[in-house]
Copies of this chain bind each other. A is one copy, B any other.
Amino acid sequence: MLDELRQASALRGLRRQQRQVLIDARRLLSERGEANSLGQARELLDKIAKLPPEGLDELFERLSLDFNPDPQAVLLAAQAYAAEPNAAHLLALSRVSEPPRQELFRRLNRAPGATGVLVRLRRNLLGGLARHPEWRSVESDLLHLFGSWFNPGFLQMRQVDWNSPAQLLEQIIRHEAVHEIDGWDDLRRRLQPDRRLFAFFHPQLPDEPLIFVEVALLPEMPAAIAPLIDKKAETMAPDKFKVAVFYSISNCEPGLKGVSLGNFLIKRVAEHLQREHPKLKTFCTLSPIPGFSAWLQRSSDFSALKQLKKPQLERAREARELLLQASGGELAKLSQAETLAKLDSAAQQALQRLAAVYLVGQTTGAQGDPVARFHLDNGARLERLNPMGNRAAKGLKQSCGMMVNYLYDLGKIEGYHEAFTQGEIAYSRGVAALL
């Protein structure tokens, strides 16, 4: 009984908070001129930041329903513009067709610290999007604004090393998503002179990395990840650097999903390293193939892979047969170290071939490998497949231990990217031979 009373009281408190947020939001939006808007933005921001998570749903709901353009006003403006498409009609159309939400978010963003709050707001919103498809319009408006605010021209690239503030390094440890960093000693190795770590920062969030990439400087293109992230690996002398390997790239801020950062970071890092070490000739990745195992087990029929020609498809089918035998009829077993250890060279080549088939034939499809799509769309080339490149549990499970190098040939990026947008995938002679 008492509990119910308490709950009811808490609920009333929450409702009051929510109502106040919306009243403030409307007030901020209706403000003519900017004189008070900064103070109002601060207050509203503060109230939003104090809302408990369960209070956000109602806020998103209202934002998606009450801050839309007026359909009739839009229609009238569109008709006028269609009748006479001049500047005055266009300005009128722009005024009425932009959702008022956008102006609300822009005004909020005048307050110190607002950018960070809005990014976290979108993080929460993305979490509920599946349940609330109507929130899509709010999410889309935020994304639109973030595209302006987190424009690569506004981002600062900084090198992170052992002289960086501890609080920053702590965030790096926490956010590394590809090859986990096991504490400070591990991190320290990854910051030695033959390893580099670069991150993007926004002037408004100077202590928070948005995305970072880890690079190894090596004498040749690597075939396995273990030596690169070995805590005790010896440091290599700079005169041996020939190849820069992007071996891990991690987003730190889920609220920025959809804002392009990785592509710009990789290219800026490549330019930076080439200035620093003119002898660096090769820029490549050593990447996982997260979807390979699942696809392998799933795909009994290759005929839908339009990138491939008939003889290639025929060879793929043969390879799959061979692997079925080698794994005793259970392809899932190919994710076990013992099974892989026993494969003969024909079976090994079959596995490589199928990985090539997967990456070349499947990437442009809806089920394709996201890592492959990211790099190929960035203008990289599928360069080399590396069996047993990742012997860690995750690597075995995802891709039977297979890893792949994507090559960034700075002179050819543009052409490869153009081709990729036409559905064509760039690959090396080595990969061609596998197919």
Query: Which residues in A have some Cβ–Cβ distance to B below 8 Å?
Result: 32-36, 38-39, 64, 68-69, 71-72, 74-75, 77-79, 81-82, 85-88, 90-91, 93-94, 97-99, 106, 109-112, 114-115, 133-137, 140, 144-145, 147-149, 151-154, 156, 162-167, 169, 183-184, 188, 203-204, 260, 263-264, 267, 377-379, 413-414, 417-418, 421
Q: Determine if B75 and A71 form an interchain contact, defined as CB atoms under 8 angstroms apart.
A: no
Q: Determine if B78 and A64 form an interchain contact, defined as CB atoms under 8 angstroms apart.
A: no
Q: Determine if B69 and A74 form an interchain contact, defined as CB atoms under 8 angstroms apart.
A: no
In the complex, which residues of chain B have a beta carbon less than 8 angstroms from the beta carbon of A75?
Answer: 78-79, 81-82
CA A238 to CA B184, docked complex, whole Å: 30
In the complex, which residues of chain B have a beta carbon less than 8 angstroms from the beta carbon of A85?
Answer: 68, 71
Q: Determine if B99 and A97 form an interchain contact, defined as CB atoms under 8 angstroms apart.
A: no
Name the CB-closest residue of B to A167. B162
Q: Determine if B377 and A418 form an interchain contact, defined as CB atoms under 8 angstroms apart.
A: no
Which 4 A-B pairs have CB atoms at the shortest separation, nearest pair first? A78-B78, A35-B417, A203-B203, A71-B82
Q: Distance in Å from the Cβ of A391 to the closest Cβ of chain B?
A: 29
In the complex, which residues of chain B have a beta carbon less than 8 angstroms from the beta carbon of A140?
Answer: 91, 94
Q: Determine if A111 and B153 form an interchain contact, defined as CB atoms under 8 angstroms apart.
A: yes
Q: Determine if A33 and B421 form an interchain contact, defined as CB atoms under 8 angstroms apart.
A: yes
In the complex, which residues of chain B have a beta carbon less than 8 angstroms from the beta carbon of A64?
Answer: 87
Q: Determine if A34 and B263 form an interchain contact, defined as CB atoms under 8 angstroms apart.
A: yes
Q: Which single member of B87, B144, B413 contacts A133 (CB below 8 Å)?
A: B87
Q: Determine if B110 and A152 form an interchain contact, defined as CB atoms under 8 angstroms apart.
A: yes
CA A136 to CA B87, docked complex, whole Å: 6
**Which residue of A88, A111, A145, A148 has the most chain B CB atoms within 10 A of its CB atom?**
A148
Q: Distance in Å from the Cβ of A144 to the closest Cβ of chain B?
A: 8
Q: Distance in Å from the Cβ of A165 to the closest Cβ of chain B?
A: 4
In the complex, which residues of chain B have a beta carbon less than 8 angstroms from the beta carbon of A188?
Answer: 166
Q: Determine if A93 and B81 form an interchain contact, defined as CB atoms under 8 angstroms apart.
A: no
CA A87 to CA B148, docked complex, whole Å: 22
6 contacts between A and B (CB under 8 A): A33-B421, A36-B417, A36-B418, A98-B98, A115-B153, A166-B166
Q: Determine if A36 and B413 form an interchain contact, defined as CB atoms under 8 angstroms apart.
A: yes
**Which residue of A134, A151, A152, A154 has the most chain B CB atoms within 10 A of its CB atom?**
A151
Name the CB-closest residue of B to A136. B87
Q: Determine if B35 and A110 form an interchain contact, defined as CB atoms under 8 angstroms apart.
A: no
Q: Distance in Å from the Cβ of A103 to the closest Cβ of chain B?
A: 9
Q: Determine if A414 and B72 form an interchain contact, defined as CB atoms under 8 angstroms apart.
A: no
Asked, given contacts A106-B148, A379-B35, whether A74 binds B68 with beta carbons under 8 Å apart, the answer is no
Q: Distance in Å from the Cβ of A381 to the closest Cβ of chain B?
A: 13
Q: Which single member of B72, B134, B163 contacts A166 (CB below 8 Å)?
A: B163
Q: Which single member of B35, B151, B260 contacts A263 (CB below 8 Å)?
A: B35
Sample of 12 further A-B pairs with CB below 8 A, known A38-B152, A110-B151, A163-B166: A32-B421, A33-B421, A35-B379, A36-B379, A38-B267, A90-B99, A91-B137, A94-B140, A94-B144, A97-B97, A109-B151, A149-B154
Q: Determine if A69 and B87 form an interchain contact, defined as CB atoms under 8 angstroms apart.
A: no
CA A114 to CA B90, docked complex, whole Å: 26
In the complex, which residues of chain B have a beta carbon less than 8 angstroms from the beta carbon of A184?
Answer: 166, 183-184
In the complex, which residues of chain B have a beta carbon less than 8 angstroms from the beta carbon of A145?
Answer: 148
Q: Distance in Å from the Cβ of A363 to the closest Cβ of chain B?
A: 14
Q: Distance in Å from the Cβ of A371 to the closest Cβ of chain B?
A: 15
In the complex, which residues of chain B have a beta carbon less than 8 angstroms from the beta carbon of A77?
Answer: 78
Q: Determine if B81 and A35 form an interchain contact, defined as CB atoms under 8 angstroms apart.
A: no
Q: Distance in Å from the Cβ of A117 to the closest Cβ of chain B?
A: 11
Q: Determine if B153 and A109 form an interchain contact, defined as CB atoms under 8 angstroms apart.
A: yes
CA A74 to CA B68, docked complex, whole Å: 17
Q: Distance in Å from the Cβ of A422 to the closest Cβ of chain B?
A: 10
CA A99 to CA B86, docked complex, whole Å: 12
Asked, given contacts A166-B184, A184-B184, whether A260 binds B34 with beta carbons under 8 Å apart, the answer is yes
Q: Determine if A112 and B82 form an interchain contact, defined as CB atoms under 8 angstroms apart.
A: no
In the complex, which residues of chain B have a beta carbon less than 8 angstroms from the beta carbon of A421?
Answer: 32-33
In the complex, which residues of chain B have a beta carbon less than 8 angstroms from the beta carbon of A149?
Answer: 148, 151, 154
